[in-house]
Structure 1
């Protein structure tokens, strides 16, 4: 599975790349702030929401520390999606949040 670090994700956002981020944390965690433009799909719902995602796009998976996003990335990858796991998660994110 591909990996990316938080600084690389922030650089992509600054470049205005059309990146697709999925935050798999729980709702109460996301209320504290998420990466701008990130979609929120709690880990437990990823399996049920994957039909709403586009297999032609690449998704960057995010959670608190990188563990849950790795599980979500593996699940999506197993179903033919292109995914990258953000290592370190929001604990290492220094960029803007909304």
Structure 2
């Protein structure tokens, strides 16, 4: 599985790149802020919601520290999706936040 640093994602966001970010944290964690444009799909919901995703797109997965997003990535890769795990997760991310 590919990985990306938080510095890399911040640079892509600053360049207004079209990113597909999935936040796999729980609802109470997401309330503390998400990466702008991210879609919230809790880790436990990934298998039943995978059909909402497009196999022609690459997804950046994020959680609090990088472990849950790696688990989600392993599952999605096994289903034929292209994924990137955000190293260090939201604990390492110091960019702009979006509140939903």
TM-score by length of 2: 0.97
Structure 1 position 73, deviation (Å): 0.5
Structure 1 position 84, deviation (Å): 0.2
Matched residue count: 98
Separation in 2 of the partners of 1:33 and 1:2? Answer: 24
Question: Could you say which residue in structure 2 is the equivalent of 1:49?
Answer: 49
Separation in 2 of the partners of 1:14 and 1:75? Answer: 29
Question: Could you say which residue in structure 2 is the equivalent of 1:70?
Answer: 70
Instruction: Tell me the SS of whatever aligns to 1:3.
Output: strand
Alignment of 1:60 onto 2:60: yes
Q: Which runs of 5+ in 2 are unaligned?
A: none
Question: Could you say which residue in structure 1 is the equivalent of 2:34?
Answer: 34
Q: Which runs of 5+ in 1 are unaligned?
A: none
Structure 1 position 10, deviation (Å): 0.7
Alignment of 1:21 onto 2:21: yes
Alignment of 1:2 onto 2:2: yes
Q: Deviations over 1:67-96 (max 9, x none)?
A: 000000110000000000001000000100
Question: Could you say which residue in structure 2 is the equivalent of 1:94?
Answer: 94
Give the alignment's Cα RMSD to 1 decimal. 0.4
Question: Could you say which residue in structure 2 is the equivalent of 1:84?
Answer: 84
